[in-house]
A and B are shown apart, each in its own frame.
Chain A
């Protein structure tokens, strides 16, 4: 699983750009929070420390943190200053709750320089999710849910199209039955609702 493990020396040369991407995202969110707070409609009920107080703190915190992330990146920390022995610790922190299927070896290289994104499956999953959100109500759960299952399965390498489609429809039908009939929750019926 450690196919892309870069030797230490080159890893040190290649700084993890991801930190900058996160820093940028955090900065944008910080600015948005700040702007929306300034322009917020505040009900005039004389509450001490109004609804804007805490958002200002959060906005400031985000901006400071994003600046510090950039500084940390420019100074080459932490992946680089973290000497050889610390990569394991690093992994433990990085994954935390969401510790994945990752073997330990893979993760050690991952915290230095993340592996290149495999755009095709990633894009297919992302597109599937977007399509699902758009089509859920017009098409109804039975079709949109099956599409969701099939799309993710196809993206992750399922190529037995007929079987996968069958599994997808079985999944969405079982879910529909369990939630509607079993638990009494409503799922969007969509175009099939008109027919059935």
Chain B
């Protein structure tokens, strides 16, 4: 009951005309960035972080909520219309979505995606609202050893389980940890790895790292393969409306997808890629069992399920972010960075110290998904037109905005130099098949891991046993072992699905 009244006051806070405007702007900008090739939700949030610094925190986070949902949907739009998913989580959507578009059913595909996102978001956000306080109660009992175990869990989960090649994933993670070392060591005051530059004392901002790795890395990558211009095949969609039969075929996949997606947001195992594949596989098997499978030729179930799973995962990833201060996805990592910019540390204390803001943020997640439904259901085709912008202008624009965003945050040319250097690193990794997500997780959680490890060891005066003394830490390490064994099985299943499903 208390939760409901808190949420009510959150709505009261969020539902001012000004905040609604920020939310609307966020959805529009988020969709615009999400539609662009190679730039997903994480990029949309990263690029907009500097803009929000001029707002007061409530407005800023409401705008984030809009960007978050807009970015999600933008990726799905291009996956369906152009077979170019904006991010890995909408990759599966393209499997059935693009055939649908080719069969002239693009409107129905888009509708199944956007309504599926809406259903999943509403269900998942409701769960977040009721689960976060529980998570907070649990988190209050967390000691340094438990936080260290959580960080290790997130490291291994993203680097070794979610990315297929353990060695490559861990290498990316190591580079991320290195970036996080730069700056003043908070506990001892020692200056580390600044190479004499005073601008580096504060460390390298997560925005610089994200925008560099994703935007600048992507532009360099595109330039390096410029001789092979991809022929984008544009499909003209009509108004997205679904027939009674489409609804009948979609509502169950939406709910199943949501159910599959929800748990993956809560465990720190990085990204919504696995649940989308699981949902796709489940829908395909069910369709085959019914004997009316349209999979391969544009089955609406194959769009509805994965899109719901994707959105459910991203929404529930807010539970560990708000409750523990633990980001489980790149997007969540940047939001954590944004919280820190405002001098707030997500975690158990946030709910008591910044209660108003948190409930306004949760309320605005509901508002964001409604606005998304309202403006994107009718206008989805317009977004796809963004891709008609000549490629050279598109990428030039991306570089200009990335540079501008990073420069204005601190008015520092050093940041721009870092941005381009990180971009070069991103290009190297991308070109040679090393995953990007573990770099970001390393940058974000590296300091947490170090601080908590040193704190735990200081308390125990050097007894390593303290790291394994708490039940919470033991459960986490246990889960990790299980995941390491089960992870390859998921990979095999997924691989088999891909091979037989879409080749």
Chain A interface residues (CB < 8 Å from chain B): 1, 3-4, 16, 18-19, 21-22, 25-26, 29, 33, 36-37, 40-43, 45, 47-55, 58, 61-62, 65-66, 68-69, 72, 78-79, 85-86, 88-90, 92-104, 106, 110-111, 114-115, 117-118, 121-122, 124-126, 129-130, 132-133, 136-137, 141, 145, 148-158, 164, 167-168, 171-172, 175, 179, 183-187
Contacts and interface: CB of A to CB of B under 8 A. Distances in A.
A171 to B, nearest CB: 6
17 contacts: A49-B457, A51-B187, A58-B174, A66-B171, A88-B495, A88-B498, A92-B91, A93-B168, A98-B213, A101-B38, A101-B222, A103-B84, A121-B226, A126-B220, A129-B420, A133-B417, A136-B407
Contact of B223 (A61, A90, A125): A125
Contact of A103 (B168, B223, B230, B458): B230
Interface stretch (B19-27, B105-113, B395-403, B467-475): B395-403
B239 interface: no
A184 B54 contact: yes
Contacts of A36: 192-193
B362 interface: no
A186 B462 CA distance: 49
B83 interface: yes
Interface stretch (B3-11, B294-302, B349-357, B434-442): B434-442
B404 interface: yes
B433 A90 contact: yes
B35 to A, nearest CB: 11
A29 B433 contact: no
Bin the interface of chain B by size. 35 or more
B181 interface: yes
Given A58-B178, A97-B330, A149-B400, A48 B224 contact: no
Given A92-B273, A98-B38, A106 B391 contact: no
Given A54-B453, A61-B177, A121-B224, A158 B498 contact: no
Contacts of A98: 38, 40, 213-214, 217-218, 426, 430, 436
A65 B175 CA distance: 11
B42 interface: yes
A26 B174 contact: yes
A83 to B, nearest CB: 10
B268 to A, nearest CB: 16
A130 B423 CA distance: 12
Nearest to B435: A96
B190 A171 contact: no
B164 A90 contact: yes
B420 A133 contact: yes
Contact of B431 (A18, A49, A61, A93): A18
Given A137-B413, A148-B400, A43 B190 contact: yes
Contacts of B177: 58, 61
A42 B87 contact: no
A21 B85 contact: no
Contact of A106 (B230, B407, B457): B230
Given A97-B87, A103-B84, A133-B416, A152 B395 contact: yes
The 3 closest A-B pairs by CB, nearest first: A101-B37, A18-B432, A93-B164
B164 to A, nearest CB: 4
A110 B230 CA distance: 14
B51 interface: yes
Contacts of B433: 16, 18, 79, 90, 93-94, 110-111, 114
A120 B224 CA distance: 8
A111 B429 CA distance: 11
Interface string B218-248: 1111111111101100000000000000000
Interface in B418-457: 420, 423-424, 426, 428-437, 440, 449-450, 453-454, 457
B454 A58 contact: no
Given A49-B454, A92-B273, 19 more contacts: A42-B188, A50-B190, A68-B167, A88-B498, A89-B164, A89-B498, A98-B38, A98-B213, A98-B426, A100-B222, A121-B224, A129-B423, A152-B392, A152-B395, A153-B393, A156-B226, A157-B391, A171-B400, A186-B408
Contact of B396 (A52, A92, A156): A156
A99 B191 contact: no
Contacts of B440: 97
Nearest to A156: B392
Most buried by A among B432, B462, B491, B494: B432
B197 interface: no
Contact of B174 (A61, A90, A111, A183): A61
A53 B464 CA distance: 14
A100 B221 contact: yes
Interface in B10-35: none
Nearest to B42: A97
